[in-house]
Amino acid sequence: MPILPVHERLAELWVIRSRRPLTDAEEMDFAHCLEVNASYIRQLAHLKNLSLLAAMTNDTEWQREISRRIGKLTAEGI
C-alpha cells in the first residue's frame, strides 16, 4: 500500500503533537486525516473481503474485477 499525502500529513501532525499542543486548525486537520484514512482502509478491507469470497467460490472473473478495483484504489489513493 503506498504512502498517501493524507498519511504524510497525519504523521506530520503526530510529530507536531508530540512537541506541542496542536492549534485548533491543526486539530481539525488531524481529525479530518483520521476520518479520510479510516474510510480508505474500510474500502480496502471491504474489497479484500470480497476478493476472499470470490476466491472461496472459485469465481475468477469476479476476483479479477475486484483485484482491478483494489489496484485502482491503491494507485489513486484517497
User: pLDDT per residue over 25-68, tens digit each?
Assistant: 999 999 999 999 999 999 999 999 999 999 999 999 999 999 99
- What's the length of the chain? 78
| Residue 76 binned pLDDT confidence (cut-offs 50, 70, 90) | confident
Q: To 10 degrees, the CA torsion angle through 19, 40, 48, 14? A: 0
For the cut 80, the answer to whether the pLDDT of residue 1 exceeds it is no
| Residue 16 lies in domain | 5-76
- Domain total for the chain? 1
pTM value surpassing 0.75: yes
Residue 43 grid coordinates: 474500502
At 3-31, the pLDDT tens digits run 789 999 999 999 999 999 999 999 999 99
Residues 66 and 52 sit within 8 Å (Cβ to Cβ): no
